[in-house]
Chains A and B, each alone.
Chain A
Amino acid sequence: MNELTTRDLIIQGTYLVASIFFVLGLRSLTKPTQARLGMQQAAFGMLFAVIGTLLNGEILSYGWIIAGLVIGTAIGYPMAMKVAMTSMPQFVAFSHAFGAIAATLVGVVEYRHTHTINAQGIMPGMSHGVAAAIGFEVLFGALTVTGSFMAFGKLQELITGRPITFPGQNAFNIGLIAAAFVSLGVLVYNPDAAWAFYTMVSLGLFLGVSMVLPIGGGDMPVVISLLNSYAGLAASATGFAIGNNVLIIAGALEGAGGFILSIMMSKAMNRSFGNIIFGAFGSAPSAGAKKDGGPAKEAKVITPEDAATQLAYAGSVVVIPGYGMAVAQAQHTCRELQELIEKKGGKVAYAIHPVAGRMPGHLNVILSEAGIDYGALLTDVEDANRVLLTADVVVIIGANDIVNPDAEEDKSSPLFGMPIFRPWTAKTVFVVKRGKGTGFSGVENPLFTKDNTLMIYGDAKGVLGNLVKEIKALDEGH
């Protein structure tokens, strides 16, 4: 190893400071009140590391770097300030793709550079270890790039949210994975095999598309978490390839975060990783799911006036929102409704399922955006179920699978085993629903025909608006 110069020491110092701020920033996320400050410090850590890098002796010209930084900021700033909280999953997918593009390109540049030097015979060949690192970097990077763009397309509804499948798909995907790993093996064995390197990049790009295609919109929380993990691993591998510890650390942190979230999301759906990636949930119509238990019961309907009266005099109300609420942008009206109920002496809480929305924790952000106090959000299924036992009225807005009793009662249901809310244990349940269709998974919901369930059909925002109007009218009647 060469002697460390003062300059190297300064650079490494900035990296160490950055790493410490990153860990502290993530730690601050355990407390909502400290989180903002902690993450601002992490951002400073990043700035520090970038300034340190600019001192690197290998950098000979700054023109391209400054242009790149300026353009990147010009794209990133308006994007972050304008994006709606509802579109957060698309935004994160997009951001993953960008990070992964950077990691992949750095890998390609690094490989080309070393490869050229080898060809000129100036230096001994690339070591097997570096070849493996660059290999992992571009493989994970390429896969994350296209995978994230696919996820983005599905979330933005540029591509259908339904799973896209074809016969032999799983065998095809496994074949692709195997081919990618064979190329990686060849590259590690013979780092000069440029063809293996570029084959692997192309296979990675292809794999990202073919792995996300068969996954349905309802499984997006898992996919986004997995891509989060892959993006981290790609960044980490970049660190191995160019011998940079701060990259290894930051990448490992993201890798761990994505991994934990993927596990939590799969648990919340009671499904294994393998099942989500290879299962194509909801693609096959759940044949025989309909039981022949006499004539099907009709769901009862309640008018907004009657519903408003019940809500106005309820002591305890629990709202269970789903992605439908976010789509309808009903969160602000929902807060209005909450304030009216609270003014009349009732209490309102929100039960948020881990997989409600299109990414982990999505609905918490949407409700907080509307100014709803996070103290009112019940994010633990068991806690929420205890509160539901004593609730007077439950209002379900745009949620379906997470309140489907089949998950507990019907072994043949594809939802069976998923931890769900039990709204039917409350006195009365209102279900606000667009129409009589099934949820994202395409499964029937027997909750709608339970004795204490009353349906309010219509657009979530419109229905909540009506309820607000009716409760106000009640007041004026006094």
Chain B
Amino acid sequence: MLQIFQLYVFILAGFVGFIVIQRVPPLLHTPLMSATNAISGISLVGAIVAAGGQYGRLSTILGFIAVVCAATNVVAGFLITDRMLAMFKGQKAANAKDHAEMKNKAQAGAAK
């Protein structure tokens, strides 16, 4: 029964992800990928339990390696996403308007 609930969660989360991510503009596809990558570094949570539980020496070592890898994934993933998004922030709105005009003019031209 528990697994049925998990399947519910998985399918609904996938559905939400699908709807939300579909609306991310191509402009931000690279940050999107690094963002989802950082978020899925949440395996860190599983790694922490594996490293901290007393499952035997080998398991602790494997768990420790998992924590190192997952923590690297999370830290690097969020930082790089932030670095990228900082570049897309605080741009001149006036310029964007200029280009919207250029696009409109071109559309009008194409319609003729």
Q: A105 near B: Cβ within 8 Å? A: yes
Q: A238 near B: Cβ within 8 Å? A: yes
Given A77-B79, A101-B69, A247-B46, is A256 in contact with B37 using a C-beta cutoff of 8 Å? no
Segment 246-293 of A: residues with Cβ below 8 Å from B: 246-261, 264
Contact B31 A365 (CB under 8 A): yes
Segment 67-112 of B: residues with Cβ below 8 Å from A: 67-89, 91-93, 95-100, 102-103, 105-107, 109-110
Residue of B52, B58, B105 near A64 (CB, 8 A) is: B52
Tell me, rounded to whole Å, the shortest Cβ–Cβ distance linking B62 to chain A.
5
Contact A364 B10 (CB under 8 A): no
Contact B56 A112 (CB under 8 A): yes
Residue of A nearest to B5 (CB): A245
Residue of B29, B48, B63, B96 near A373 (CB, 8 A) is: B96
Residue of A nearest to B23 (CB): A30
In the complex, which residues of chain A have a beta carbon less than 8 angstroms from the beta carbon of B53? Answer: 58-60, 113
A: contact size bracket: 35 or more
Selecting from A41-49, A194-202, A394-402, A407-415, the interface stretch reads A41-49
In the complex, which residues of chain B have a beta carbon less than 8 angstroms from the beta carbon of A157? Answer: none
Segment 86-107 of A: residues with Cβ below 8 Å from B: 88, 91-92, 95-96, 98-99, 101-103, 105-106
Residue of A nearest to B59 (CB): A109
Residue of B nearest to A132 (CB): B3
Segment 326-378 of A: residues with Cβ below 8 Å from B: 347, 349, 352, 354, 359-362, 364-365, 368-369, 373-378
Residue of A nearest to B29 (CB): A361
B: contact size bracket: 35 or more
Residue of B47, B83, B92, B109 near A102 (CB, 8 A) is: B47
The dominant DSSP class at the B interface is helix
Residue of A nearest to B94 (CB): A375
Contact B67 A368 (CB under 8 A): no
In the complex, which residues of chain B have a beta carbon less than 8 angstroms from the beta carbon of A85? Answer: 84
Residue of B nearest to A237 (CB): B10
Segment 150-181 of A: residues with Cβ below 8 Å from B: none
Tell me, rounded to whole Å, the shortest Cβ–Cβ distance linking A227 to chain B.
10
Contact A232 B103 (CB under 8 A): no
Residue of B28, B42, B65 near A250 (CB, 8 A) is: B42
A238–B48 Cα distance when bound, in Å, is 13
Selecting from A382-390, A437-445, A446-454, A457-465, the interface stretch reads A382-390
Q: A13 near B: Cβ within 8 Å? A: no
In the complex, which residues of chain B have a beta carbon less than 8 angstroms from the beta carbon of A60? Answer: 52-54
Contact A46 B42 (CB under 8 A): yes
Q: A135 near B: Cβ within 8 Å? A: no
Residue of B54, B67, B77, B102 near A95 (CB, 8 A) is: B77
In the complex, which residues of chain A have a beta carbon less than 8 angstroms from the beta carbon of B46? Answer: 102-103, 106, 238-239, 242, 244, 247
Contact A365 B84 (CB under 8 A): yes
In the complex, which residues of chain B have a beta carbon less than 8 angstroms from the beta carbon of A92? Answer: 30, 33-34, 37
Tell me, rounded to whole Å, the shortest Cβ–Cβ distance linking A307 to chain B.
22
- Report which residue of B25, B60, B62 has the largest number of chain A beta carbons within 10 angstroms of its beta carbon: B25
Segment 204-262 of A: residues with Cβ below 8 Å from B: 224-225, 228, 231-232, 234-236, 238-240, 242-261
Contact A257 B10 (CB under 8 A): no
Residue of A nearest to B70 (CB): A102
Tell me, rounded to whole Å, the shortest Cβ–Cβ distance linking A378 to chain B.
7
In the complex, which residues of chain B have a beta carbon less than 8 angstroms from the beta carbon of A374? Answer: 27, 88, 91, 96
A85–B42 Cα distance when bound, in Å, is 25
Contact A375 B95 (CB under 8 A): yes
Contact B40 A250 (CB under 8 A): yes
Residue of A nearest to B110 (CB): A386
Residue of A nearest to B93 (CB): A375
Residue of B nearest to A44 (CB): B78
A85–B22 Cα distance when bound, in Å, is 24
A99–B50 Cα distance when bound, in Å, is 15
Tell me, rounded to whole Å, the shortest Cβ–Cβ distance linking B73 to chain A.
4
A360–B59 Cα distance when bound, in Å, is 37
Contact A80 B88 (CB under 8 A): no
Contact A243 B2 (CB under 8 A): yes
Contact B50 A105 (CB under 8 A): yes
Given A72-B72, A228-B33, A254-B39, is A105 in contact with B103 using a C-beta cutoff of 8 Å? no
A72–B63 Cα distance when bound, in Å, is 13
7 new A-B contacts, CB < 8 A, other than A88-B80, A91-B76, are A88-B30, A113-B56, A238-B43, A254-B17, A255-B17, A361-B30, A374-B27
Q: Identify the 7 closest CB pairs spanning chains A and B, nearest first.
A: A72-B71, A375-B96, A68-B67, A361-B29, A76-B75, A256-B17, A59-B52
Q: What is the interface of chain B, defined by CB distance below 8 A to chain A?
A: 2-3, 6, 9-11, 13-14, 16-18, 20-56, 58-60, 62-89, 91-93, 95-100, 102-103, 105-107, 109-110
Query: Can you identify 17 A-B contacts, CB atoms within 8 angstroms?
Result: A26-B20, A32-B91, A39-B81, A39-B85, A68-B66, A75-B68, A92-B34, A95-B34, A95-B72, A106-B63, A112-B59, A238-B46, A243-B6, A245-B9, A360-B30, A364-B26, A374-B88
